[in-house]
Amino acid sequence: MFIVILLFFSHCCTAQTVTYTYKNNEANLTFDLIMDKNDKEISEWRMIINAKGEIVKKNNSPFFHKKNKFYFFDKTLSRRIHVTDEPEITWDLSNKNETKNILGFTCYPAKATFRGRDYIAYYTQEIPGANGPWKFNNLPGLVLSVESKDGSYSFQTTEINLEKSEDVQSNLNDYIEQYSFIDWGKYLQIYNEDIEAFILEEFCDCETDGLNTIKVSKIEIMNEALNVHGINY
Protein backbone atom coordinates (compact mmCIF):
# COMPACT_ATOMS: atom_id res chain seq x y z
CA MET A 1 0.00 0.00 0.00
CA PHE A 2 2.80 2.40 0.83
CA ILE A 3 4.45 1.86 -2.58
CA VAL A 4 1.14 2.37 -4.40
CA ILE A 5 0.60 5.71 -2.67
CA LEU A 6 4.08 6.90 -3.61
CA LEU A 7 3.62 5.94 -7.24
CA PHE A 8 0.27 7.69 -7.41
CA PHE A 9 1.57 10.86 -5.81
CA SER A 10 4.54 11.01 -8.18
CA HIS A 11 2.34 10.31 -11.19
CA CYS A 12 -0.37 12.84 -10.37
CA CYS A 13 2.02 15.75 -10.27
CA THR A 14 3.58 15.34 -13.72
CA ALA A 15 1.74 16.79 -16.73
CA GLN A 16 2.64 15.50 -20.18
CA THR A 17 -0.16 16.78 -22.43
CA VAL A 18 -2.84 19.32 -21.53
CA THR A 19 -5.85 19.94 -23.78
CA TYR A 20 -7.43 23.41 -23.95
CA THR A 21 -10.42 24.90 -25.67
CA TYR A 22 -9.44 28.22 -27.21
CA LYS A 23 -12.16 30.81 -27.77
CA ASN A 24 -11.12 33.39 -30.37
CA ASN A 25 -13.98 35.90 -30.59
CA GLU A 26 -16.77 33.69 -31.98
CA ALA A 27 -14.53 30.79 -33.04
CA ASN A 28 -13.79 27.77 -30.86
CA LEU A 29 -10.70 25.65 -31.38
CA THR A 30 -8.91 22.88 -29.49
CA PHE A 31 -5.18 22.81 -28.78
CA ASP A 32 -2.81 20.46 -27.01
CA LEU A 33 0.07 21.73 -24.90
CA ILE A 34 2.62 18.93 -25.21
CA MET A 35 5.59 18.85 -22.83
CA ASP A 36 8.86 17.27 -23.91
CA LYS A 37 9.33 13.82 -22.39
CA ASN A 38 12.79 14.74 -21.06
CA ASP A 39 12.55 18.46 -20.33
CA LYS A 40 9.27 20.05 -19.19
CA GLU A 41 10.62 23.53 -20.04
CA ILE A 42 10.26 22.59 -23.72
CA SER A 43 6.73 22.38 -25.13
CA GLU A 44 4.66 22.54 -28.29
CA TRP A 45 1.31 24.31 -28.70
CA ARG A 46 -0.48 22.23 -31.34
CA MET A 47 -3.89 22.74 -32.94
CA ILE A 48 -6.08 19.62 -32.72
CA ILE A 49 -9.48 20.89 -33.92
CA ASN A 50 -9.81 23.98 -36.12
CA ALA A 51 -12.51 26.68 -36.17
CA LYS A 52 -14.61 24.58 -38.56
CA GLY A 53 -14.71 21.74 -36.06
CA GLU A 54 -12.42 19.60 -38.21
CA ILE A 55 -9.69 17.40 -36.78
CA VAL A 56 -6.28 18.74 -37.83
CA LYS A 57 -4.34 15.86 -39.36
CA LYS A 58 -1.20 17.81 -40.28
CA ASN A 59 0.37 20.47 -38.10
CA ASN A 60 0.68 23.52 -40.35
CA SER A 61 0.99 26.00 -37.47
CA PRO A 62 4.25 25.21 -35.66
CA PHE A 63 4.49 26.86 -32.24
CA PHE A 64 7.23 25.88 -29.82
CA HIS A 65 8.41 27.10 -26.45
CA LYS A 66 11.85 26.55 -24.94
CA LYS A 67 12.68 28.18 -21.63
CA ASN A 68 11.28 31.72 -22.21
CA LYS A 69 11.67 31.79 -26.01
CA PHE A 70 8.96 31.01 -28.53
CA TYR A 71 9.38 29.85 -32.13
CA PHE A 72 6.35 30.11 -34.43
CA PHE A 73 4.97 31.52 -37.66
CA ASP A 74 2.56 34.43 -37.94
CA LYS A 75 0.98 36.43 -40.72
CA THR A 76 1.02 40.02 -41.92
CA LEU A 77 -1.55 41.17 -44.48
CA SER A 78 0.57 39.76 -47.30
CA ARG A 79 2.95 37.06 -46.05
CA ARG A 80 3.81 34.35 -43.54
CA ILE A 81 6.85 34.98 -41.36
CA HIS A 82 8.66 32.73 -38.89
CA VAL A 83 9.25 34.58 -35.64
CA THR A 84 11.08 34.26 -32.33
CA ASP A 85 9.61 36.01 -29.32
CA GLU A 86 10.76 36.44 -25.72
CA PRO A 87 7.76 38.14 -24.10
CA GLU A 88 7.86 39.49 -20.59
CA ILE A 89 4.55 39.18 -18.74
CA THR A 90 4.43 40.82 -15.32
CA TRP A 91 1.94 38.85 -13.25
CA ASP A 92 0.12 40.18 -10.19
CA LEU A 93 -0.10 37.30 -7.69
CA SER A 94 -1.37 39.34 -4.77
CA ASN A 95 -4.81 37.74 -4.45
CA LYS A 96 -3.73 34.30 -3.21
CA ASN A 97 -6.67 33.98 -0.82
CA GLU A 98 -8.99 33.37 -3.79
CA THR A 99 -8.93 29.86 -5.23
CA LYS A 100 -10.72 27.99 -8.00
CA ASN A 101 -11.09 24.26 -8.60
CA ILE A 102 -10.29 23.17 -12.16
CA LEU A 103 -10.41 19.44 -12.95
CA GLY A 104 -9.80 18.67 -9.28
CA PHE A 105 -6.76 20.95 -8.96
CA THR A 106 -6.65 23.96 -6.65
CA CYS A 107 -5.82 27.02 -8.73
CA TYR A 108 -4.76 30.55 -7.80
CA PRO A 109 -5.45 33.76 -9.74
CA ALA A 110 -2.88 35.90 -11.53
CA LYS A 111 -3.57 39.12 -13.42
CA ALA A 112 -1.56 40.77 -16.18
CA THR A 113 -1.73 43.20 -19.07
CA PHE A 114 -0.12 41.78 -22.18
CA ARG A 115 0.13 43.51 -25.56
CA GLY A 116 -3.04 45.51 -25.34
CA ARG A 117 -5.34 43.27 -23.31
CA ASP A 118 -5.98 42.59 -19.63
CA TYR A 119 -6.07 38.95 -18.51
CA ILE A 120 -6.83 36.82 -15.50
CA ALA A 121 -5.20 33.40 -15.34
CA TYR A 122 -5.56 30.49 -12.91
CA TYR A 123 -2.59 28.25 -12.22
CA THR A 124 -2.04 25.21 -10.02
CA GLN A 125 1.03 24.51 -7.96
CA GLU A 126 0.04 20.84 -7.80
CA ILE A 127 1.52 20.40 -11.29
CA PRO A 128 5.07 21.80 -11.38
CA GLY A 129 6.55 23.75 -14.26
CA ALA A 130 6.01 27.21 -15.68
CA ASN A 131 3.98 26.11 -18.70
CA GLY A 132 0.63 27.31 -19.98
CA PRO A 133 -1.43 27.82 -23.11
CA TRP A 134 -0.01 29.84 -26.00
CA LYS A 135 2.41 32.48 -24.57
CA PHE A 136 1.00 32.49 -21.04
CA ASN A 137 3.67 31.05 -18.76
CA ASN A 138 6.21 31.94 -16.07
CA LEU A 139 3.81 31.36 -13.21
CA PRO A 140 4.64 29.08 -10.24
CA GLY A 141 2.75 26.14 -11.71
CA LEU A 142 0.78 25.01 -14.74
CA VAL A 143 -1.74 27.53 -16.12
CA LEU A 144 -5.15 25.86 -16.51
CA SER A 145 -7.27 28.88 -17.43
CA VAL A 146 -6.78 32.30 -19.04
CA GLU A 147 -9.42 34.82 -20.06
CA SER A 148 -9.20 38.35 -21.44
CA LYS A 149 -11.11 41.01 -19.55
CA ASP A 150 -13.06 41.94 -22.68
CA GLY A 151 -14.21 38.32 -23.06
CA SER A 152 -12.89 37.99 -26.61
CA TYR A 153 -10.21 35.38 -25.87
CA SER A 154 -10.04 32.51 -23.43
CA PHE A 155 -8.18 29.26 -22.84
CA GLN A 156 -9.80 26.57 -20.69
CA THR A 157 -8.31 23.19 -19.79
CA THR A 158 -10.54 20.23 -20.60
CA GLU A 159 -8.14 17.30 -20.08
CA ILE A 160 -4.77 16.48 -18.54
CA ASN A 161 -3.17 13.38 -20.01
CA LEU A 162 -0.30 12.01 -17.93
CA GLU A 163 0.53 9.24 -20.41
CA LYS A 164 0.95 11.12 -23.70
CA SER A 165 4.48 12.43 -24.22
CA GLU A 166 6.64 13.28 -27.23
CA ASP A 167 10.16 14.25 -28.18
CA VAL A 168 9.27 17.92 -28.64
CA GLN A 169 12.94 18.95 -28.68
CA SER A 170 13.44 16.92 -31.86
CA ASN A 171 10.41 18.55 -33.49
CA LEU A 172 11.72 21.98 -32.52
CA ASN A 173 15.18 21.22 -33.93
CA ASP A 174 13.62 20.20 -37.26
CA TYR A 175 11.59 23.40 -37.38
CA ILE A 176 14.58 25.65 -36.60
CA GLU A 177 16.72 23.94 -39.25
CA GLN A 178 14.04 24.35 -41.91
CA TYR A 179 13.30 28.08 -41.65
CA SER A 180 14.87 31.48 -41.04
CA PHE A 181 13.48 33.53 -38.16
CA ILE A 182 13.19 37.21 -37.27
CA ASP A 183 12.66 38.58 -33.77
CA TRP A 184 9.39 40.07 -32.52
CA GLY A 185 10.53 43.70 -32.90
CA LYS A 186 11.39 43.21 -36.57
CA TYR A 187 8.16 41.32 -37.18
CA LEU A 188 6.13 44.15 -35.62
CA GLN A 189 7.87 46.61 -37.97
CA ILE A 190 7.12 44.48 -41.05
CA TYR A 191 3.52 43.95 -39.91
CA ASN A 192 2.87 47.70 -39.78
CA GLU A 193 4.76 48.39 -43.02
CA ASP A 194 2.53 45.85 -44.79
CA ILE A 195 -0.57 47.65 -43.51
CA GLU A 196 0.67 50.97 -44.91
CA ALA A 197 1.57 49.35 -48.25
CA PHE A 198 -1.85 47.71 -48.51
CA ILE A 199 -3.71 50.98 -47.88
CA LEU A 200 -1.59 52.86 -50.42
CA GLU A 201 -2.15 50.16 -53.03
CA GLU A 202 -5.92 49.99 -52.51
CA PHE A 203 -6.52 53.73 -52.18
CA CYS A 204 -8.05 55.07 -55.41
CA ASP A 205 -8.61 58.78 -54.59
CA CYS A 206 -12.19 58.68 -55.82
CA GLU A 207 -15.64 59.56 -54.48
CA THR A 208 -16.06 56.13 -52.91
CA ASP A 209 -12.89 56.41 -50.78
CA GLY A 210 -13.50 55.64 -47.15
CA LEU A 211 -16.36 53.21 -47.80
CA ASN A 212 -14.16 50.14 -47.43
CA THR A 213 -13.01 49.02 -44.00
CA ILE A 214 -10.39 46.45 -43.09
CA LYS A 215 -10.15 45.02 -39.59
CA VAL A 216 -8.04 42.10 -38.40
CA SER A 217 -8.79 40.73 -34.93
CA LYS A 218 -5.67 39.53 -33.11
CA ILE A 219 -5.07 38.49 -29.55
CA GLU A 220 -2.00 40.73 -29.57
CA ILE A 221 -2.91 44.29 -30.54
CA MET A 222 -0.08 45.11 -32.94
CA ASN A 223 -1.81 48.02 -34.67
CA GLU A 224 -4.71 49.59 -32.78
CA ALA A 225 -6.33 51.08 -35.88
CA LEU A 226 -6.35 47.74 -37.68
CA ASN A 227 -6.89 45.34 -34.77
CA VAL A 228 -9.43 47.36 -32.74
CA HIS A 229 -11.20 50.04 -34.75
CA GLY A 230 -10.71 49.05 -38.37
CA ILE A 231 -9.14 51.21 -41.09
CA ASN A 232 -11.24 52.98 -43.72
CA TYR A 233 -9.77 53.31 -47.22
Q: 105-140 pLDDT, tens per residue?
A: 999 999 999 999 999 999 999 988 889 999 999 999
CA dihedral 48, 44, 6, 141 (to 10 degrees): -110
- CA distance linking residue 136 with residue 155, whole number of Å: 10
Q: 86-113 pLDDT, tens per residue?
A: 999 999 999 878 999 999 999 999 999 9
Choice between 9 and 193, residue whose per-residue pLDDT is larger: 193
Would you state the pLDDT for residue 209? Answer: 64
Confidence of residue 7 (pLDDT cuts 50, 70, 90): very low
Q: Is the pLDDT of residue 3 over 60?
A: no
Would you state the pLDDT for residue 1? Answer: 40
Q: Is the pLDDT of residue 26 over 90?
A: no
- CA distance linking residue 217 with residue 227, whole number of Å: 5
Confidence of residue 171 (pLDDT cuts 50, 70, 90): very high
Neighbours of 146 (CB within 10 A): 25
